[in-house]
Structure 1
Amino acid sequence: MPVADLILKNANVVTVDPGQPTAELVAIKGDKILLVGGSENLESVRGAKTRVIDCQGKTVVPGFNDAHCHPFSLIRKLVSIDLSPPAVSSISDIRAIIKREVHNTPAGQWIMGTDYNDFYLAEKRHPTRWDIDEVAPDHPVLLSHRSLHACVLNSLALSLAGITGETAEPPGTLFERDLDSGEPNGLLFEMLGHIREKVVPPLSAAEINQGVTLANQHYLSQGITSLQNASAINDFERWQTCRRFQDAGKLKSRIYMMCGIETLSQFQEAGLSFGAGDSQLRLGGVKMILSEATGQLYPPQPELNQQVFHTHRAGFQLAIHAVQPSTVAAAIIALEYAQRQLPQAGRRHRIEHCSECPPHLLGRLKKLQAVVATQPPFLYYSGDRYLATVPAERQPWLYRIGAWLNNGLVVAASSDSPIVPDNPLVGIYSAVTRQTRSGQLLLPRQRISASQALAMYTINAAYASFEEGIKGSITPGKLADMVLLSADPTKVPAEQIKDIKVEMTMIGGEVVWED
């Protein structure tokens, strides 16, 4: 047996490996796990230069893998104004914050706020251009909704974007308008990506460096050793940016980067196929967004079928954003069409979110061998809103995690961060309890065990990116990505899971964060 570089001893190791579910010791050689065993194995792998960490009986789990998040949006959020509840609870609060920012910002320079949530505003509506104009007439202002599917621009920002009363909405988008004048009121749906990419000046080098530094520390402090970047606007430039920061040691978490249907050709022209890269940065699937912002499916079903088929034929995984029952059904129809045209097993095409999934669709998902990448923390952070706004007849379809798992689907857990906070332990708590922030229960019959929830954040998430052979469990030969926790989420009372602390994060055998 080779000598280990590092040993974690006196640990409660929850391996997420059914062949050896628990252990007391993990030995690491280089960036891989060498041995998983008991205290009696210590001397067989310890050498004169081996570092030994005494875990003092605390719990070691595989590194968490957030299967659907938006790190570039998080970076932008970290250098923008935070408008999230409960600190911001009214449009008056938003106006006051922007007014303060105006005093510190030269005229003409953009002011950007993130994460406002109309459901939690006292006025129970979105801000409008006119709300913002009163406090910021000389600054372009962009406010992004917590969903990232809506944004608000003031009049100066609308002018810079070239949006007037005569401007036609691009396909799949919607401009809310004043009923009397027909003028856009500043609220735009499915336009945020375009505004950020084409209208707002790019972040400065200093802002990017600051944002990456903050994001890196944030992910490591949450025990997130891998993340799956699910932005549909990821392009080759973003790929190069990630690689540059990873090579410089400024971005430690491993990244599975999806691209969009419109940016796929950039990667293909660079000679990159699905799965290209390495364990640190890998090219993932093609993200497609199904929207009903205009009241009709976009893209229309025939166009969607063709886009999905061509992507399937090109060898790329599909990752289809589908929230409402009709969009989930449309995604299934498109995947079924692709498989009829070119039958291929093991493609692991994904439904992202699958928020409202009627029972009659479950069998079709299973036949497709689709992976569901869903967001358990939405139950906690958004559950009260669901109970208040989702029609009663559709509430039984919300996040049917228990039914999916019981019927043999692979379900990967994620946060959709920065939509909601990305603490995986809150996600595990949410899947186990189905309890909202106010204490209401949301479909308790869909509860799952803590072990199942932990698997969703580890081995299942790795499966969703075709990487279960190299990570996702504490198994000899796999990457030494692990997290030390203050308590065992599979053993403590369910209500305590969300309060468990990450005490140490390790990536590739390197301790990259300690509390």
Structure 2
Amino acid sequence: MLIRDAEIFGRTRCDLRIEGVRIAEIGNLPARPHELVIEARGGALLPGLHDHHIHLAALAAQRSSVKCGPPQVTDADALVRALQVPGSGWLRAIGFHESVLGGALPDAAMLDRIVPDRPLRLQHRTGRMWLLNSPALAQLLAVAAPPPGLERGGNGFTGCLFDEDAWLQRALGSLPPDFGEVSAELARFGVTGVTDMSPRNDPVIARHFAQQRAQGRLVQSPVLAGSLTLAEAEQDGWRLGPLKLHLHEAALPDFDEALGFIRAGHAQGRALAVHCVTEVELVFTLALIEAAGAMPGDRIEHVSVASPELVERMTELGLHICVQPHFIAERGDRYLADVEPRHHSDLYRLRTFREAGLSMAGGSDAPYGSADPWRAMAAAVCRRTPSGALIGPDEALTPEEALALYLADPLDLSQTRGIAPGRPADLCLLGLPWSKARNRLSSADVTATICAGVLVYQRVDQAPFERLASAYASP
């Protein structure tokens, strides 16, 4: 494959040839007989984007789910309307936030009044909690004993199921979903690699990833973070990522047990990745890492609230950070309402981390945020909430710095992937030069995506490639 007349990332306009899964040469290159030629016409050719924090199975399952949280659903009446779905089988709803019900979580009795005649499971926006109605409880408990995470009330179970996805999956007898649709969507955004950050990833889900890769259903190159047992799985079509620790301020783990968990991961040669969305969670995490000893590549996910003092401690430990700039564009107004004013300047920092020398990468956290990395880049530059309010304008990045969040090496966030002979042929071609694209930061500008030397996406309104005419063929 030859990409002709591209504005190659870090270089001038020239041609690039791909042989197999790698970049073969760059320069002024003549086309070969029968070679597939992509006419870039001066468009920017970038390394393929990598989503450093995503939940693919949940994103795929979202396609068959009812959205029941902001911005689609913002009050009780809208929740009732959203859940009026014809049918008799399981109803799966996602994205719920307690702000919809004035700060309350619905119990089984309340959900029964909305959906009385079919089993309902309503997922909280965090992804860690399911809210079940009585038909759902009855069906699940008929086939499985109640797990520790199923909350009890005065008259039995409340319907709140916390951190029990593995139990729920077994009780439902469900299989991991197909990734084909979400993989195609990511390809349209120019994404050629993903790091799946689901804390329960184990050898079973690893086999599913391997199968999806082998069947061509997942075209992106995956890195899997997850459990300690994940290290036992054969790395077939995927690479082993960090050990994932998912904290929740209301139910922090025993410190010594968490410390043992981290040390066991380090003993496997794996860095640690910790979910931190509150100041308390970040303080707890830093104390753990200070006690365990930091390992190169240890990272913190989200870092939603970080005071200058905590930033200094992260810097001293040499931690890496995975950020979600688009959360301000999606939820910023709620942050301003819910977070103490003294912490507003600490929300979703970017510039401060960069100037402190902390290595950063960007991740979508999809389906709990938009999977479009270009929206995240735009949000990193403008820092505006849905209403147009600014959060931490001094934390904004330049377009080039925002792009760099998605060019980091997934196994070493301190390194930036580039375009050079011998490098993997994972590429994102834009339909215009970077000097124009930087002012738009839109996935609509992605013209073609190449994963491991294969053209996996081309924009349909402007086919960018042509096969040389037969007259060029060798006799």
**Shared topology, TM-score over 0.5?**
yes
Give the structure 1 partner of residue 465 of structure 2. none
1:90 and 2:75 equivalent?
Answer: yes
Give the structure 2 partner of residue 387 of structure 1. 336
Give the structure 2 partner of residue 292 of structure 1. 249
What is the distance in 1 between the residues matched to 2:120 and 2:403?
Answer: 41
Give the structure 2 partner of residue 477 of structure 1. 422
| Aligned-pair CA distance for 1:460 | 5.0
- List runs of 5+ in structure 2 lacking aligned partners: 460-475
- Does the C-alpha gap of structure 1 residues 150 and 489 become closer, same or farther in structure 2, counting only changes over 3 Å? farther
Give the structure 2 partner of residue 7 of structure 1. 2
Give the structure 2 partner of residue 327 of structure 1. 281
Give the structure 1 partner of residue 173 of structure 2. 201
What is the distance in 1 between the residues matched to 2:268 and 2:404?
Answer: 30
Aligned residue pairs, count: 456
- List runs of 5+ in structure 1 lacking aligned partners: 1-5
Contact 2:350–2:396 under 8 Å retained in 1: yes
Contact 1:350–1:373 under 8 Å retained in 2: yes
- Does the C-alpha gap of structure 1 residues 490 and 161 become closer, same or farther in structure 2, counting only changes over 3 Å? farther
Match runs of 1:159-308 below 5 Å: 159-162=138-141, 170=148, 175=151, 181=154, 185-188=158-161, 190-191=162-163, 193-194=165-166, 196-203=168-175, 208-209=177-178, 212-260=179-227, 264-265=228-229, 267-268=231-232, 270=233, 277=235, 280-294=237-251, 298-308=252-262
Give the structure 2 partner of residue 147 of structure 1. 126
| Aligned-pair CA distance for 1:463 | 2.5
| Aligned-pair CA distance for 1:125 | 4.1
Read off the aligned partner of 1:387 and give its amino acid letter: L
- Does the C-alpha gap of structure 1 residues 176 and 488 become closer, same or farther in structure 2, counting only changes over 3 Å? farther
- TM-score normalised by the chain length of structure 2: 0.88
CA-atom RMSD, angstroms?
A: 2.7
| Aligned-pair CA distance for 1:250 | 1.4
1:112 and 2:92 equivalent?
Answer: yes
Give the structure 1 partner of residue 471 of structure 2. none
- Does the C-alpha gap of structure 1 residues 114 and 490 become closer, same or farther in structure 2, counting only changes over 3 Å? farther
Give the structure 1 partner of residue 451 of structure 2. 507
Give the structure 2 partner of residue 158 of structure 1. 137
Contact 1:461–1:472 under 8 Å retained in 2: no
| Aligned-pair CA distance for 1:246 | 0.8
What is the distance in 2 between the residues matched to 1:364 and 1:62?
Answer: 32
Give the structure 1 partner of residue 347 of structure 2. 398
- Does the C-alpha gap of structure 1 residues 488 and 191 become closer, same or farther in structure 2, counting only changes over 3 Å? farther
Give the structure 2 partner of residue 3 of structure 1. none
What is the distance in 2 between the residues matched to 1:430 and 1:403?
Answer: 16
Contact 2:42–2:433 under 8 Å retained in 1: no
| Aligned-pair CA distance for 1:458 | 1.1
Contact 1:451–1:490 under 8 Å retained in 2: no
Give the structure 1 partner of residue 323 of structure 2. 374
Bigger mean CA deviation after superposition, 247-256 or 76-85:
76-85
| Aligned-pair CA distance for 1:240 | 0.7
Instruction: State the Cα deviation string for residues 385-437 of structure 1 (Å, max 9, x = none).
Output: 11111111112211111111111111010010000111010010111111122
The structure with higher relative contact order (CA 8 Å, sep 6+) is: 2
Q: Percent identity?
A: 26
| Aligned-pair CA distance for 1:114 | 1.5
Contact 2:399–2:438 under 8 Å retained in 1: no
Read off the aligned partner of 1:251 and give its amino acid letter: L
- Does the C-alpha gap of structure 1 residues 370 and 176 become closer, same or farther in structure 2, counting only changes over 3 Å? farther
- TM-score normalised by the chain length of structure 1: 0.81
What is the distance in 2 between the residues matched to 1:138 and 1:150?
Answer: 22
Find the residue that maps to 2:241 and give its secondary structure.
strand
- Does the C-alpha gap of structure 1 residues 176 and 448 become closer, same or farther in structure 2, counting only changes over 3 Å? farther
| Aligned-pair CA distance for 1:33 | 1.3
- Does the C-alpha gap of structure 1 residues 319 and 433 become closer, same or farther in structure 2, counting only changes over 3 Å? same
| Aligned-pair CA distance for 1:73 | 0.5
- Does the C-alpha gap of structure 1 residues 161 and 395 become closer, same or farther in structure 2, counting only changes over 3 Å? farther
